[in-house]
């Protein structure tokens, strides 16, 4: 329709660096799902980013397919959104190279994620880890994205994306849309169940700290029952009660209840009841996702059809931007 305003473009990506966790789901993927009607959503599995940390090839291949199926199972609808695999779309690596030449060593050196990851992987501080934000900038800029939903830990990467885009536009004219990062307000920041000062992470040394999307119900229940709390025995949200705060955050995210409602619900009850309730709510939230995943992962042909279709659309859109960039830089077309 002529009068319908064009929907804004949302771009986001997630790395297939292992299983999808409850933290990934409540913090990111669930928001991807909720944005699908209001925006033109383009989502990617950022598998080029993943090899900045060494991967076992067989496991990596499995992780990519599992993540792709899991995210569809969560509700990313391939009829509404473009959900593609980054390594299948060659424009990403190409634009990243060009943008590398418009990014300064100094600004990449200041990236906190680079500093953290090089401390963690001191035996493999590779150039890809260093230029990771440039690849990410390319991902976003290729699609002329208006909005980029990300976790708080990616904010600095959005800032550098804008800096690179403005610098490029300053030299060559308006080539890139300057994107806007946003931290979705209903995006819960889920912490480890064992060490609630750290983000929930699949690399948590204590397996009970992290709930995976595909964990069976009894495993989920066990992890919640062992969750770290405190000695106050009172369900309330307060400073210093990191374990309880985290459980309340999860319960609120899954049930839609406010903290006040949760405090009332568990007034006079112990942590045992509370942990059981949180565990059960999470089990019920994840049950249909796991069932859907089991179906999908059996149907490799369907998954392949989904990503081939999406890869092609992504290639078409991104090639327009890459072509423009190359022309501006002076390449012979
Ligand atoms: N770096 C992001 C993360 O680890 C994943 C990512 C890659 C991304 N490219 C992106 C996120 C582009 C948003 C936009 O979470």
Same fold, 9-188+300-329 and 207-294: no
Rounded CA-CA distance 236/255 in Å is: 17
pTM above 0.85, yes or no: yes
Q: Which residue is catalytic, options 80, 120, 185, 199?
A: 199
- Pick the residue whose CA is nearest to atom 5 on ligand 1: 14
Q: Check whether 178 has a pLDDT greater than 90.
A: yes
Residue whose entry in the numeric block shows the structure tokens 């859907």: 292
Q: Which fold, 9-188+300-329? A: Rossmann fold (3.40.50)
Q: Check whether 193 has a pLDDT greater than 70.
A: yes
- Where would I find the H helices in 74-152? 91-100, 105-109, 112-120, 127-142
Q: Which of 13, 71, 130, 183 to mutate to test the pocket of ligand 1 (most atoms within 8 A of CB)?
A: 13
- Pick the residue whose CA is nearest to atom 9 on ligand 1: 136
Q: Could you tell me the residue ranges of all domains in the chain?
A: 9-188+300-329, 207-294
- Pick the residue whose CA is nearest to atom 3 on ligand 1: 14
CATH superfamily of 207-294: Tyrosyl-Transfer RNA Synthetase (1.10.240.10)
DSSP3 helix / strand / coil % (the chain, rounded to 5): 55, 10, 35
Residue 86: the pLDDT is 98
**Pair of tokens at residue 67:** 């993540």
What's CA 108's distance to the chain center, in Å?
A: 21
Our answer to whether residue 117 is catalytic in this structure is: yes
Q: Which is more confidently placed, 329 or 1? A: 329
Q: Average the pLDDT over 94-104 and give the result.
A: 98
Residue 3: the pLDDT is 59
Residue 184: the pLDDT is 79
pLDDT tens digits, 21-78 = 999 999 999 999 999 999 999 999 999 999 999 999 999 999 999 999 999 999 999 9
Rounded CA-CA distance 183/160 in Å is: 16
Rounded CA-CA distance 314/88 in Å is: 9
- Pick the residue whose CA is nearest to atom 11 on ligand 1: 13
pLDDT tens digits, 270-315 = 999 999 999 999 999 999 999 999 999 999 999 999 999 999 999 9
pLDDT tens digits, 203-226 = 888 999 999 999 999 999 999 999
User: What distance in angstroms lies between residue 313's CA and the mean position of ligand 1's atoms?
Assistant: 19
**Pair of tokens at residue 299:** 């149907």
Spell out which residues line ligand 1, taking CB within 6 angstroms: 11-15, 46, 49, 136, 139-140, 148, 150, 154
Q: Check whether 128 has a pLDDT greater than 80.
A: yes
Q: Check whether 228 has a pLDDT greater than 80.
A: yes
Identify the DSSP state of 146.
S
User: What distance in angstroms lies between residue 43's CA and the mean position of ligand 1's atoms?
Assistant: 10
Q: Check whether 185 has a pLDDT greater than 90.
A: no
Measured CA to CA in angstroms, residue 121 lies from 14, 117, 126 at distances of 20, 6, 10
Our answer to whether residue 202 is catalytic in this structure is: yes
Q: Which residue is catalytic, options 120, 147, 155, 202?
A: 202
């Amino acid at each position: 329709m002529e009068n319908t305003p064009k929907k804004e473009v949302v771009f986001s990506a997630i790395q297939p660096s292992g299983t999808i966790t409850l933290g990934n789901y409540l913090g990111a993927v669930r928001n991807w799902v909720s944005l699908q009607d209001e925006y033109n959503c383009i989502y990617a599995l950022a598998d080029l980013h993943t090899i900045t940390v060494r991967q076992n090839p067989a496991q990596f291949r499995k992780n990519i397919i599992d993540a792709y199926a899991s995210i569809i199972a969560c509700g990313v609808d391939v009829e509404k959104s473009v959900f593609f695999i980054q390594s299948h779309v060659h424009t990403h690596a190409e634009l990243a190279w060009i943008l590398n030449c418009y990014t300064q060593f100094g600004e990449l050196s200041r990236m906190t994620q680079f500093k953290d990851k090089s401390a963690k992987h001191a035996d493999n501080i590779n150039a890809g880890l260093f230029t990771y934000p440039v690849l990410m900038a390319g991902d976003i800029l290729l699609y002329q994205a208006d909005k980029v939903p990300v976790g708080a830990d990616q904010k600095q990467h959005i800032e550098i994306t804008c800096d690179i885009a403005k610098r490029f536009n300053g030299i060559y004219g308006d080539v890139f849309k300057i994107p806007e990062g946003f931290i979705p307000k209903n995006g819960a920041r889920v912490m480890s169940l064992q060490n609630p000062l750290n983000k929930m992470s699949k690399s948590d040394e204590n397996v009970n700290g992290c709930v995976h999307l595909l964990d069976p119900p009894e495993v989920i229940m066990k992890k919640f029952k062992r969750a770290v709390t405190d000695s106050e025995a009172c369900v309330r949200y307060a400073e210093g009660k990191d374990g309880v705060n985290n459980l309340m955050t999860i319960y609120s995210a899954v049930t839609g209840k406010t903290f006040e409602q949760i405090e009332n619900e568990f007034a006079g009850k112990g942590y045992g009841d509370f942990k059981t309730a949180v565990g059960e709510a999470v089990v019920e939230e994840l049950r249909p996702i796991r069932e859907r995943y089991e179906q999908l992962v059996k149907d490799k042909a369907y998954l392949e059809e989904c990503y081939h279709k999406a890869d092609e659309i992504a290639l078409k859109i991104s090639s327009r931007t890459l072509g423009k960039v190359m022309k501006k830089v002076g390449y012979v077309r």
